[in-house]
Structure 1
Amino acid sequence: MPVYRAPVQDMLFLLNDVLRIEQYADLPGFANATPDMVEAVLTEAGKFCEEILFPLNQSGDLEGCTRHADGSVTTPAGFKEAYQQFIEAGWTQLTQPEAFGGQAMPHVVGFPAEEFRMSANQAFAMYPGLTQGAISAILVKGSAELQAKYVPKMVSGEWGGTMNLTEPHCGTDLGLIRTRAVPNGDGSYAISGTKIFISSGEHDLTENIIHLVLAKTPDAPDSVKGISLFLVPKFLVKDDGSLGERNGAVCGSIEHKMGIHANSTCVMNYDGATGWMVGDENKGLAAMFIMMNAARLGVGIQGLAQAEIAYQNAVEYAKDRRQGRALTGPQDPQEKADPLIVHPDVRRMLMDGKATVEGLRALALWGALQVDLAHMAASEEDRQMADDLVSLLTPVIKGYGTDKGYDVATNAQQVFGGHGYIEEQGMSQYVRDARITMIYEGANGVQAMDLVGRKLAQNGGRAIQAFFAIVDAECAAAKSKPAIADLAGKLEKANGELKAATMWFMQNGMANPNNIGAGAHHYMHIMGHVALGLMWVRMAEASQKALDDGRGNAAYHQAKLITARYFAERFLPDAGALRRKIEAGSETMMALTPEQFHLA
């Protein structure tokens, strides 16, 4: 049977020893994030996920959601009760503003709890996750009236939220959307159209669902410049806050998916549904991107989370399953075979998983800290730096993070051999659930193009230059410390490959834009390697200091140092090969005619 233990110790190490969040205690939200409070929050979050959410993960996957004749949807057995416990415990309020009933904890504390939920039960975690994103958009772009009317009950978890972008004929190219919003003459609009792939579009967990819907007004430009954003509730809300009549927003069907079966991914039909504009007319895409950027970081955490639980189960299986003998001679002579974990190829898959999971966790938390600092840092310069970094890192955390997360999940399945292909072991679910993370909220090819085509040149390259400077400075300092000097040297070399790839794009991208498209994926992975390398330098330095000071669990910190060396030896050398792939350009990639791709 599958197992899950929330990695509370690793989170506390990152927050206290690596990020040292106590240094931000004078900033809004951080005052309450004392070491004792953070440990209590994460311990309880881990316990809730292990005991309440994880036991529903496999059963929810097998049962899925059920749509009824009236368009209503029932979630799997146990989900409604678990959700009620979830909101009663206050988990929906953790990082939300106090003015709307939240606890106002920083995102860097909220992200660990989110990872625990995603590992324990990704399909369940998506329901409140979408609501958090919807709240973000309403708080930034919504009127005071909309905020007062809808946000408090979304923060409490009584009401859910979604985002509606995709239509049957368009995904990434949102300029093609056909959903229309016609003014009703009273400040509201009549929304008509069909949206597909709407996660949490209809369910029985909350009494109302607040849909954020992209649509075009009658005279809007027929392009992305003509998109507006609308708030469309499942049930209309009366002036006193009570629920009124059912709105014209109905689930037409549930998508039959490869994974995340317990999340109701819906086709949503809008038939003159009443909605209200969020933000300015024809500026809806910018408003929706507030939600999408938050969602992209969340999806990066999903990739990490599925890798974590798959890795945990692979480790347990490798320690327990006996097959063959160690190449250096029997390790357990009294047994007929040694455990799988003695074999180097099994170790390769497990060490790849450990190095990736722990590196991605550190990167996600650093990204979460930048989200906080972008709003709360004391100086405008620090806020701008944080905003630049989170903008640059978002496509890397989402794209590289989910690519690598899926790799870890499939390798963890491989450790099980044939048993990994059998549903009862649970590994298939982790692979299936991880696969969607590479696709939704902007497929990873889109993330790579966002990184290379937009983020590198933004503000004259200010963000990437700042990132280069951070890596260079920390490598220079670390090279003087014997325990991490080799790691720092290898990271410095990989950062040089990233700089060279950046320069190549500058020299060759304008003349032939296909060169950028052909190399974007590889560039995203070089940057991912360098970003994780930076995290491993920080973690190795913190663990060495803990060992020198005689603090903490010595075996834990020794494992960190060994894993840091492994990452340096096995991951960072790939940066050179990826740069050479980029420099191959696009000529052969684009040379075949469409007909030549398959000649019978």
Structure 2
Amino acid sequence: MPHYKAPVRDMRFVLNEVLDLDGHYQQLGLEEVNSELVDAFLEEGAKFSQNELAPIYRTGDEEGCHFDNGVVTTPKGFKEAYAKYVEGGWPSLGGEPEFGGQGLPTSAGIPISEMTGTANWAWSMYPGLSHGAVATIEEHGTQEQKETYLPKLTSGHWTGTMCLTEPHCGSDLGLLRTKAEPQADGTYKISGTKIWISAGEHDMADNIVHIVLARLPEAPAGTKGISLFIVPKFLVNDDGSVGERNAVACGSIEHKMGINGSATCVMNFDGAKGWLIGPENKGLNCMFTFMNFARLGTAIQGVAHAQLAFQGSVEFARERLAMRSLSGPKNPDGPADPVIVHPDVRRMILTSKAFAEGGRALVYFLSQLGDKVKLAKDEAERKEADSLMALLTPIAKAFLTEAGVESACLGIQVCGGSGFIREWGMEQNLRDAKISTIYEGTTGIQALDLLGRKVLQTQGAALRPWTKVIHKYCEGVAEQENMKEFAEPLSRLNKEWGDITMAVGAKAMQNIEEVGGASVDYLMYSGYVTLAYFWARMAEVAQTKLAEGTSEEDFYKGKLATARFYFKRLLPRVAAHKGAIEGGVDCLMAITEEQLAL
């Protein structure tokens, strides 16, 4: 079984050479934050991920979580690893200094999230969800709520959840029934059942703070009548210590396809004491603070599964001997050649590599936009970053997770029969990966958000700033002879992206169902073009370094070769997505339900 090795060199390349981390922090006026500090985090994060989390990746999957009368026990080693994570101060990286945090920008912690997630995604979900709870309370909580919950959440001694889904409703939150009854003391009694709650119950922290959507009496129907509440597992005493047990309990845990080390819980709220966070009936608006972070975190998951597939398949392909190269033996002293010499094996490995490294650039770029939203001094710059982040988040979440699943599948394929059994770890990677395309909004929902709400409802206004970024980049490198192979196709597709948008919009004016029919192909088209932009930037840096002379020739040549592979073998997929969009919605809707059931 392969052992995860954190791609620290590539992380540095993206952060420092492509995205200019020091320049980014200087622009934000962050005097004490720089690439040297982040580099120290990378080194220590790599050690923790490789030495503490990777060894319990497979064992955590095989053992899974245990449920006994409402008590959930995590797999062997999970609790101990979490204690070391808290002791190391990792949960507090981005927290507010007022509440014990280190006050670092989002971009400083994102690589750590990638490393812990790739080493052991199931484990990483426990601390990962807490960041969203912290962000929600920071943004919408009262001062008293902040003082009550943020110190322990920030330190990691308590963890957080998001409680949205109910047995009768998943993504359509307008249907939820959980009730919140006002009490004389200003609290609320929360009653209802939530399902699929990740880390809803476990043995790794002293308290669990649930962020819960519920309805007040006489609340408007649908999403306009949803409020948000803080409901802790244990009530908190005046001195900040854990008090009596609240009326919230785990009814069961799910038996799942993957991420078995992560407890996915049915949570029963039986008149549990809760506190309103944010305005009444505006819970969904407040929850988006949580959801946007969760979606960025899920985009990281796509990168993680692609990276793990790439590492595992390369290691296997170097060692596995099978057949001879068509152009003659490459291992003449052995009975056969290593399978890595065969073009089709290279195709699969390079696909995972291109998705992992291109996805890394996109996610790290998004984290820098998040820094600007929170820290930029100019309001116009904050709004511009927020709008761009809103457009790119559904692309990153959906496209990168679909790419992660494809990569995980290819990881199995490279390993052949060995990939299908547990020994090599590739089958677990695929099982763990699939949920990423479902939770935090399925690919279809992200696609409708992108095409319907973000693009068409703004008449293309939300899209234009991003296509303008790409256009300006292509103009800037147009005269560089060594960049034409990247700039010319990127420029052409960037223009075509706008043309496709207008065509879909015109069709939708005649039949609104055209939006749903085109949305996923539109999102995938958008994802391939967006990743092409980042691969062009990486190719430019690589060529510059090679021209200047470098002691790391292999690294930069490998980067350039991967960029060429992406442009020649993956980017052409946009033609199929364009053709599917042009195929329209009629062929989807013409067949009747009865005919489908035959």
Q: Which amino acid aligns with 2:12?
A: L
2:484 corresponds to 1:477: no
Q: Which amino acid aligns with 2:494?
A: N
Matches for 1:494-509 after TM superposition, within 5 Å: 494-509=493-508
Within 2, Cα distance between the matches of 1:16 and 1:30?
16
Q: Which position in structure 1 is the counterpart of 2:576?
A: 577
Deviations 1:194-222 (A, max 9, x none): 00000000000000000001000111112
2:392 corresponds to 1:404: no
Q: Which position in structure 2 is the counterpart of 1:547?
A: 546
Q: Give yes or no for contact 1:165–1:174 (8 Å, CA) kept in 2.
A: yes
Matches for 1:123-142 after TM superposition, within 5 Å: 123-142=122-141
Q: Give yes or no for contact 2:456–2:505 (8 Å, CA) kept in 1.
A: no
2:515 corresponds to 1:519: no
Q: Which position in structure 1 is the counterpart of 2:237?
A: 238
Structure 1 residues 552 and 265, CA gap change in structure 2 (3 angstroms): farther
Within 1, Cα distance between the matches of 2:379 and 2:551?
37
Q: Give yes or no for contact 2:28–2:372 (8 Å, CA) kept in 1.
A: no
CA shift, 1:552, in A, is 5.3
Q: Which position in structure 2 is the counterpart of 1:464?
A: 463
Within 2, Cα distance between the matches of 1:424 and 1:29?
49
Within 2, Cα distance between the matches of 1:337 and 1:88?
50
Structure 1 residues 138 and 233, CA gap change in structure 2 (3 angstroms): same
2:25 corresponds to 1:25: yes
CA RMSD, 1 decimal: 1.2
Deviations 1:330-370 (A, max 9, x none): 11111000001011110110111111111011001111111
CA shift, 1:459, in A, is 4.8
Q: Give yes or no for contact 1:306–1:434 (8 Å, CA) kept in 2.
A: yes
Q: Which position in structure 2 is the counterpart of 1:66?
A: 66
2:120 corresponds to 1:121: yes
Q: Which position in structure 2 is the counterpart of 1:211?
A: 210
State the secondary structure of the residue aligned to 1:398. helix
Q: TM-score, normalised by structure 2?
A: 0.98
Q: Which position in structure 2 is the counterpart of 1:108?
A: 107
Deviations 1:67-97 (A, max 9, x none): 112x111101111111000000011011122
Percent of matched pairs sharing the same residue? 47
Q: Which position in structure 2 is the counterpart of 1:337?
A: 336
2:166 corresponds to 1:167: yes
Q: Which position in structure 2 is the counterpart of 1:35?
A: 35
Q: Give yes or no for contact 1:32–1:105 (8 Å, CA) kept in 2.
A: no
Runs of 4+ in 1 over 4 A off after TM superposition: none
Structure 1 residues 232 and 29, CA gap change in structure 2 (3 angstroms): farther
Q: Give yes or no for contact 1:494–1:576 (8 Å, CA) kept in 2.
A: no
State the secondary structure of the residue aligned to 2:252. strand
Within 2, Cα distance between the matches of 1:129 and 1:327?
47
2:362 corresponds to 1:352: no
Q: Give yes or no for contact 1:29–1:105 (8 Å, CA) kept in 2.
A: no
Between stretches 538-547 and 167-176, larger displacement belongs to 538-547
Q: Which amino acid aligns with 2:33?
A: A
CA shift, 1:33, in A, is 2.7
Q: Give yes or no for contact 1:494–1:573 (8 Å, CA) kept in 2.
A: no
Deviations 1:408-433 (A, max 9, x none): 11001100101111112211110001
Q: Give yes or no for contact 2:305–2:429 (8 Å, CA) kept in 1.
A: yes
2:71 corresponds to 1:82: no
Q: Give yes or no for contact 1:478–1:537 (8 Å, CA) kept in 2.
A: no
CA shift, 1:239, in A, is 1.1
Q: Which amino acid aligns with 1:221?
A: P
Within 2, Cα distance between the matches of 1:457 and 1:378?
31
Deviations 1:275-333 (A, max 9, x none): 00010110001111110111001001011101111210000000110001001111111
Q: For structure 2, which runs of at least 5 residues remain unmatched after alignment?
A: none
CA shift, 1:458, in A, is 5.4
Q: Give yes or no for contact 1:326–1:338 (8 Å, CA) kept in 2.
A: yes
Within 2, Cα distance between the matches of 1:196 and 1:552?
54
Q: Which position in structure 2 is the counterpart of 1:52?
A: 52
Q: Give yes or no for contact 2:517–2:581 (8 Å, CA) kept in 1.
A: yes
Structure 1 residues 230 and 552, CA gap change in structure 2 (3 angstroms): farther
CA shift, 1:27, in A, is 5.1
Structure 1 residues 284 and 512, CA gap change in structure 2 (3 angstroms): same
Q: Give yes or no for contact 1:304–1:361 (8 Å, CA) kept in 2.
A: yes
Matches for 1:145-544 after TM superposition, within 5 Å: 145-457=144-456, 459-544=458-543
Q: TM-score, normalised by structure 1?
A: 0.98
Within 2, Cα distance between the matches of 1:385 and 1:545?
30
